[in-house]
Structure 1
Amino acid sequence: MDKESAQKKKRERAVNFTELEIRHLVDVAIKYSKIIENKQTDGAMWKEKDKAWAEIAVEFNAITGGIHRTAKVLRLKYDGIKRGLKQKQTKNKLEKKLLQFMTLSVHGLPAAGGNDSDIILPYSLTDSRKELLQLQTQIAEHEVLQKQEFADMQKKILLDRDQREQLQHDMIMKNLNLQQQLLLDTNERQQKEHDLHVQWMLLKIENEKADLLIKEKQLQ
């Protein structure tokens, strides 16, 4: 492979995934989740995972029909998607802990003099608790919204897969119907050819009989 071809191939691999490609990747990977998400680390399982990713790559590229993605690239992208989801969950947990820590710090922060009587409380305890409750509610609602969006995305992926499978089924049935019609046409044509051949043979026999009768009369 020359240098120009190698650079071109490298640029193709560097092209970012589109949202549609990500959906297709998740759609195909879900079918092999029992293997690729298996926690076993023995050699046999690694071979099974490599085989599964090779099959995922074949299905993925057949669906997208665009930039060819290798099994290694798809595997890295899939791992990146999972890391992104875990980071979002971790971030939400850290936000909760930080919010609790900030609330405790505000209520227990002493003034410059160091006397307990000089503790600074910008808000009353009741107001702070209300604010904390509101923030916790907003965070919880945000988490619910994220989960709902993820569930909607999975549902959309499943719907797309069902529609694609239905389309494939319809195409297969149409192809079978065409093949059946061609077979019927072929059989009908063969039957006509056979009938014509039989008629020709009968006509030939009749002509031979007529020739024999003429010869017999001439001999008489």
Structure 2
Amino acid sequence: CILQNVVNMVSVMVVGHLGELPLAGASLATSLANVTGYSLLTGMATAMDTLCGQAYGARLYHRLGVYKQRAMVVLSLACVPIVLIWANTARILVFLGQDPAISAVAGEYARWMIPSLVVYVPLQCHIRFLQSQSIVLPVTASSGTTALCHPLVCWLLVYKAGLGSKGAALSNAVSYGINLVILALYVRLSSTCKNTWSGFSREAFRELRQFTALAMPSAMMIWLGVVVI
């Protein structure tokens, strides 16, 4: 978890070298993104801990792959209101009394963070899928690799590509994508997942309401913890 959180932290640190205004905007946007997006999605994904743990203990191994896909569907639907919030971050912050200049920068940063949701959802589902099988080392290794690569990715987009703070926001999507590719390859190529992953299934689109009913309380627990901190 620490290694995964390094991604957002490094992005904000790199933006800090661009000036006080970009730093203030990036910090504000990141805080808003954590509260309104990342924490909720992470919390919803924890519903897999219960479902996958039960299925693995009962030796219903094929169910783990179904639950992973089902979680992707539900979390993807949950991204719709999140995208709307992030796309209107500047207006929301101004309405809440924040400085208009900082709000404008934060709004732009938040919009460029939207692509990260595309990879963040399957990434969290892959992580829970593997952890429920007590496969932790590959998850840690992929997160560590991502954390090591992220400063370079961030530097390339911010300075070499000339995107500035927008590049720092976009670098989150790139680094999360690297992490996802590593885990996806492990799931498909490793013999440890041959019983739990058998490909895509239509079952993923069934019982979505039941999964959501379990995911929402989990999301609220994580979200409340982030809000309090």
Relative contact order higher in (CA < 8 Å, ≥ 6 apart): 2
Length-normalised TM-score, structure 2: 0.21
Bigger radius of gyration? 1
TM-score between the two structures when normalised by the length of structure 1? 0.22
